Every structure is written in C-alpha cells, then in structure tokens.
Amino acid sequence: MPLIRRIPKRGFNALFKSGYQVINIESLNRFDNNSTVGPAEFKKAGLIGSTNEPVKILGTGKIAKVLTVKADKFSDSAKKALEAAGSKAEYLAK
C-alpha cells in the first residue's frame, strides 16, 4: 500500500481564512466614560495582540459605561447591549 494512502486524512484547512480577535463587552468597562475606543486603544489595554487583524465585539457580560466602540464586526447581542447602555457601535472602513 503506498504511503499516501496509509496516512489518515484530516479534513480541509482553508488557505486564506480570516480569524477575528474577539473582545467581550464586559472588558470595555475599563475605558473612561464618554470616550471613543478602537483597535489602537484595545492594543494599549492589552485586549488584542495586533492592530492589523480584524476585531469582533461579542455580547458576553454587561457594559456600564457610555462609549463609542469602533470595530470590524459586532455580534447581534453586542449591538443590543451597547445600544441599551447608550453606547454607539461603529464599523471600521476597510
């Protein structure tokens, strides 16, 4: 039996997959009230590793401050939670 047929096959790996750096909204409580936060501020706070990769905000937790949050993508629960707290969700231009 040839070697290529003996080795187990493990599925498909996308060559150009886009992974998001995720941030929960409870982590946004560390920023000052009425401030605008984006990838540069997330990097300074240690929430993300790189400003070159896209950022997604998830809706886990509660937010107690009014912020303007700039990110590449928002989950539906994150948008609802931000709007309920009086915050704004803005998409970054690509």
User: What does the pLDDT look like over 17-42, one tens digit per residue?
Assistant: 878 999 999 999 999 999 999 999 99
pLDDT at 82 exceeding the cut of 80: yes
For 21-91, give the CATH class.
alpha beta
Contacts of residue 87, Cβ cutoff 8 Å, sequence gap at least 6? 63, 65, 66, 67, 68, 69
Domain ranges across the chain: 21-91
Query: Which of 88, 84, 94, 86 lies closest to 74, judged by CA?
Result: 88
Report field, pTM of the whole predicted structure over 0.75: yes
User: What does the pLDDT look like over 36-78, one tens digit per residue?
Assistant: 999 999 999 999 999 999 999 999 999 999 999 999 999 999 9
The pLDDT of residue 9 is: 86
* CA 60 to each of CA 2, 24, 30: distance values in angstroms, whole numbers, following the listed order: 50, 5, 15
